């Protein structure tokens, strides 16, 4: 049976690395097709890996195209007053 640590002993600190300081190789973003050094890697349910750069991820989280049916009425000849 594994030995339990004493109750008052502090737990070891987690490995907190700054993501900007990590030495990851360059990768091509699947969204914008650019070679980037700051990216996240996602594993899909089909065991496929997707590389998404921070800019595309930020655009997605921001809701860049929030309304799919948004259009400017003035371009169709309607001027709202």
Joined tokens for residue 79: 């001027």
* Cβ contact 34:57 at 8 Å: no
The domain spans of the chain are 27-64
pLDDT tens sequence across 18-41: 666 667 889 999 999 999 988 989
Model pTM above 0.75: no
What is the Cα–Cα distance from 28 to 44, expressed in whole angstroms?
Answer: 17
Residue 16: what pLDDT? Answer: 66
Query: What percent of the chain clears pLDDT 90, i.e. is strictly above it?
Result: 25
């Amino acid at each position: 049976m594994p030995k339990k640590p004493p109750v008052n002993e502090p737990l070891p600190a987690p490995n907190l690395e700054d993501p900007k300081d990590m030495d990851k190789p360059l990768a091509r973003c699947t969204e914008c097709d650019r070679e980037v050094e700051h990216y996240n890697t996602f594993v899909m349910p089909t065991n496929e890996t997707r590389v998404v750069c921070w800019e595309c991820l930020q655009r997605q989280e921001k809701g860049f195209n929030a309304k799919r049916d948004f259009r400017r009425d003035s371009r169709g000849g309607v001027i709202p007053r």
